[in-house]
Amino acid sequence: MKTRVMLGLSGGVDSAVAAYLLKEQGYEVVACFMRNWDALANNDYLGNPTVNDQQCPQEKDYDDAASVAKALDIPLLRIDFVKEYWNDVFTYFLEEYRAGRTPNPDVFCNKFIKFDAFYKFALENDCSSIAMGHYARRVEKDGHYFLSKAKDLNKDQTYFLSQLSEAQIKACLFPLGELSKEEVRRIAAKLGLSVAFKKDSTGICFIGERHFKEFLHNYLPAQKGDIVDISTRQIIGSHSGAMYYTIGQHRGLGIGGISNQESEGWFVVSKDVEKNIVYVASGSQSQYLYSNYCLVTKLNLFPHYDIDGKKLKAKFRYRSQDADVAIQRIDDDTLKVVFASKQKAIATGQAAVFYDGSLMVGGGLISEVYAGDIRIDK
């Protein structure tokens, strides 16, 4: 009897090829399209470039998923997690921005929607496991399950999976872990799939591309405040809300040159959300952009892997290079992460993800950032 697997079919090329590979491997594949965002119900008007389109992007994606399912001769279900996404992902996203932090909704979308609500739906439909088109590898080591970086390091998505439990990892198959993106597109083209050369989705998980600052205005009212040069404490501009800015931001500040001062441009280096002040420094290599260590909380660690005292690699943003770090456990939910060399533009709220070689061994959220012994995130 074939093992019955439910695959998240998004309408993109990655999940399409994942479905094909699973079928070739002998699984009984049931595809399911998730709809997790309702622009009308969620007041998503400002910053939404598709708000006046006759067909919303999600329905276009569903049509593509239906085309793939028909071509592969697999059943396609459809499920709405709009309420769950709002309660478990988007509310957190807004609360973090309101507090002046920089959240990554994709991390919690995976934790609560794709690998929790979706898995429960799969079980209700007599599937023993789920599968996704993520670029990651599931590995078993000493009887325990971990995620390892994908073969295609440029597409590796383990950073976004850093809040998954071992049980969630064990329950999911990742058919694309050993393939490059180019190989995936070639397979899709050979099969004649309509999505073979479809553009990759970008933007916020399940929401898509948005003019970000305008998008936040739908939910977080603007409040004008000062932009201050951190070195001189001189007011050099104004902003519409400190919560809209992130550490290291360069564009969209609206600050011109200052007389009698050469500048490579201005960068956000700190925020005071309570006073609604954004602090900036001149130049991309300003000392105010760099830090020596951070504290990480909301930990997701594996009890069978002792992280304390380890020298590991850490990733602080999806596209950032891995950094050499030393880990010190402070308490049950706090790690001190010391950088071997100073790191640039580390922001609270971002995910910190730890690797032992290619093996992902845990993660958490950055809660405090320090230069020397001076806290610089507030």
- Confidence at 152, pLDDT banded by 50, 70, 90: very high
CA-to-CA distance for 327 and 142, rounded, in angstroms?
23
Residue that the structure tokens 């200052």 belong to = 258
Which residue of the set 32, 109, 127, 172 is catalytic?
109
Q: How far apart are the first and last CA of the chain?
A: 58
pTM of the predicted protein model: 0.93
Specify whether 109 is catalytic.
yes
Spatial CB neighbours of 15, under 8 Å, sequence gap ≥ 6: 7, 8, 9, 65, 132, 133
- Least confident segment among 10-14, 177-181, 218-222, 288-292: 218-222
Q: Is 294 a catalytic residue?
A: no
Mean pLDDT of the chain: 93
- Let me know: does 306 contact 370? Beta carbons within 8 Å: no
Report the pLDDT averaged over residues 59-71. 95
Q: List, in order of start, the domains of the chain with CATH numbers.
A: 4-213 (3.40.50.620), 222-285 (2.30.30.280), 290-375 (2.40.30.10)
Binning pLDDT at 50, 70 and 90, where does residue 57 land?
A: confident
Average pLDDT over residues 321-335: 97
* Separation of alpha carbons 105 and 96, rounded Å: 10
Q: Where are the alpha helices (DSSP H) in 125-196?
A: 166-170, 181-191
- Which residues lie across from 130 on neighbouring strands? 6, 172
Average pLDDT, stretch 89-98?
94
Nearest of 235, 242, 304, 231 to residue 273 by alpha carbon: 242
Q: 56, 127, 172, 205: which is the annotated catalytic residue?
A: 205
Give percent of the chain above pLDDT 70.
Answer: 97
Contact, 333 vs 365, CB < 8 A? no
Residue 318 has pLDDT above 60, yes or no: yes
